[in-house]
């Protein structure tokens, strides 16, 4: 994807995208929201408010889990915790 492709999607010109990338200009909230949609990332990540990149697939998974009944959510979270715990432990030990 090029600056021109993104610019066309947003209804602007490539140089405007370059100015955004160089922090010479800030996009409107509407433009930033459309950029996040186009890039399939969260708006918070795009705007630098978090290091956590939630792509479209991750967001869809979170939405599916949020629709589950509480018992199934508990099972999903228990499984996630089982995978996360060793990673956290390794971070502490290193």
| Segments making up each domain of the chain, as ranges | 3-46, 57-93
What confidence score (pLDDT) does residue 52 get? Answer: 81
DSSP secondary structure, 26-75, as one string: PPPHHHHHHHHHHHTB-HHHHTTS-S---BHHHHHHHHHHHTS-HHHHHH
CATH of region 3-46: 1.10.260.40
The Cα 90–Cα 94 span in angstroms is: 6
At 46 the three-state DSSP class reads: helix
Q: What is the pLDDT along the chain (94 residues), one digit of tens a residue?
A: 788 888 888 888 888 888 888 989 888 889 899 998 888 888 888 888 888 887 888 889 999 999 999 999 999 999 999 999 888 887 777 6
The predicted model scores a pTM of 0.56
């Amino acid at each position: 994807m090029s600056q021109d492709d993104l610019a066309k999607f947003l209804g602007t010109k490539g140089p405007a995208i370059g100015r955004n990338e160089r922090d010479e200009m800030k996009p409107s909230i509407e433009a930033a929201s459309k950029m996040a949609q186009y890039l399939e990332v969260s708006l918070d990540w795009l705007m630098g408010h978090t290091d956590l990149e939630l792509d479209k697939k991750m967001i869809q998974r979170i939405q599916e889990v949020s629709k589950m009944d509480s018992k199934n959510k508990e099972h999903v979270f228990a499984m996630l915790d089982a995978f996360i715990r060793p990673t956290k432990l390794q971070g502490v030990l290193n």
